Amino acid sequence: MTPRRPTLARRLALLISAVLAAAWVVAIAAMALILHHEQDELYDQILITSAEALLPTLASDAARASAQMSSAHDDPNEALVWRLIDRQGRVLAASPMSEAAQFPDTPRPGKVKRTLTHTVYTTKYTAQDMALQLADPLAERREAWRESFLAFLLPMLALLPLGWLAGGWVSRLALRPVEDLRAEMAQRDGLRLEPMDADAHPAELAQIVTTLNGFMARVSQALDGERAFATNAAHELRTPVAVALAQVQRLAQETGDPAASARIASVETALRRMARLVARLLQLARAESGIGLGEERVDAAALLPHVLREIGRDADRLALSVAQGPVWTVMDADALAIVAGNLIENALQHSPPDSRVEVSLNDQGLLSISNPGPVLPAEQLAQMGKRFSHRKGGGFGLGLHIVSQIARQAGTALELASPVPDRDGGFQARIQLPPAQP
């Protein structure tokens, strides 16, 4: 199985998503630091305000205040603890759970200081030389920070898949001109090599279009030269070959020597083969110039008998089945004659001598030619539409290639099958003629 190739759109989407993910991580880390800093400032301010408010009450009646505050919390990781100290740092009064808190060794009045377990604020000394140390548990602050951070992080996680989807959409939108250029290039073939409009594309693609236009101009020139050579060569060869064939046939009638007659017959066979090659070269030049579709509709059912009459001495091997009534098609009449003639001659040439070749055209415009013979391997069948493909039974490999070219120009396709459907052997070629309204 061929591995899937990465596309520009996918690569751009991955890069955009990677940049967004990196920015997301930086933003989350910055938000975590800012949230931690701002939350500490808020809690410190609350701690200072609470200590300044509690100091007069505790200084006047520490025992009563201690009894009231001790019943508010039982968990030392959540409760605010306090103690009253004098200027020498001696504890005058304290809340019941103050032993679980770590206070700073040296009080600093009017300052906030953090220990391993608590954040402690020490008020300034009163006129009675007392100060209040109010301690807030760090575990409570950390829990509050985690909850706040998770409340921010969870919605932000949804940005990751949204960023991937947005990156893919942006990539496809940004690369749409590339797809448009690809589609325009796909319409180019040997029959259509006119230059594309570079100004209709973005600046980055305009240079590529200009280069492609130059390349197509060179290809068009080369193809025109090839077609002109094939046409001129075929025209130049047709007359001498026909004259030579006529002279050989006359010589065969005049000679009485059996050995000479055999050699003359070999020469005649070679000349006939050369004549077929010349005819195929002319047909190939016409096919590659674009004759698939005609300007007027054609009755294929009426044209087919005329094609059969040109087959010659092997016409008695044909079994013809044509639909009753007209079968209208938009294929050019000459192109249809070339298609039918090549398919029939191919079937006659590659089928056993004296065997029957079936030619049928139904009312739906399906032209089918079947001949008996051995089953062809799939590999050989796939090569039969190529120009100058090797044929064991003789031939040049041009007939089916010409038919395939004309079919493609007419908007249809040549279909080959071996064995013939519902049979044990044989070969079938069929083509669906492009329909036309009667």
pLDDT the model gives residue 151: 86
pLDDT the model gives residue 203: 79
pLDDT the model gives residue 112: 92
Rounded to an integer, what distance in angstroms lies between the CA atom of residue 46 and that of residue 51? 9
Rounded to an integer, what distance in angstroms lies between the CA atom of residue 405 and that of residue 368? 17
DSSP sequence for 361-394: E-TT-EEEEEE--PPPPHHHHHHTTSTT---TTS
Rounded to an integer, what distance in angstroms lies between the CA atom of residue 244 and that of residue 99? 126
**Tally of CB atoms within 10 A around 164:** 16
Domain 8-63+77-161 has CATH 3.30.450: yes
pLDDT the model gives residue 233: 65
Tally of residues, the chain = 438
User: Which CATH code is given to the segment(s) 293-432?
Assistant: 3.30.565.10
Rounded to an integer, what distance in angstroms lies between the CA atom of residue 138 and that of residue 159? 32
Rounded to an integer, what distance in angstroms lies between the CA atom of residue 123 and that of residue 101? 17
Residue 122, classified by CB atoms within 10 Å of its CB into exposed (0-12), middle (13-18) or buried (19+), is buried
Is there a contact between 126 and 55 (Cβ–Cβ < 8 Å)?
A: yes
For the chain, the domains span: 8-63+77-161, 185-289, 293-432
Helix (H) or strand (E) segment spanning residue 42: helix 8-60
| 287 closest CA partner among 106, 175, 410 | 410
Mean pLDDT by 10 residues, the chain (438 residues): 62 78 86 89 91 85 54 62 88 83 88 91 89 90 88 81 77 79 76 76 81 81 67 66 76 77 78 69 63 78 82 76 87 82 85 87 90 86 67 61 81 87 88 81
pLDDT the model gives residue 333: 81
Residue showing tokens 């030392």? 76
Q: How far apart are the first and last CA of the chain?
A: 48
Structure tokens of 158?
A: 């949804």
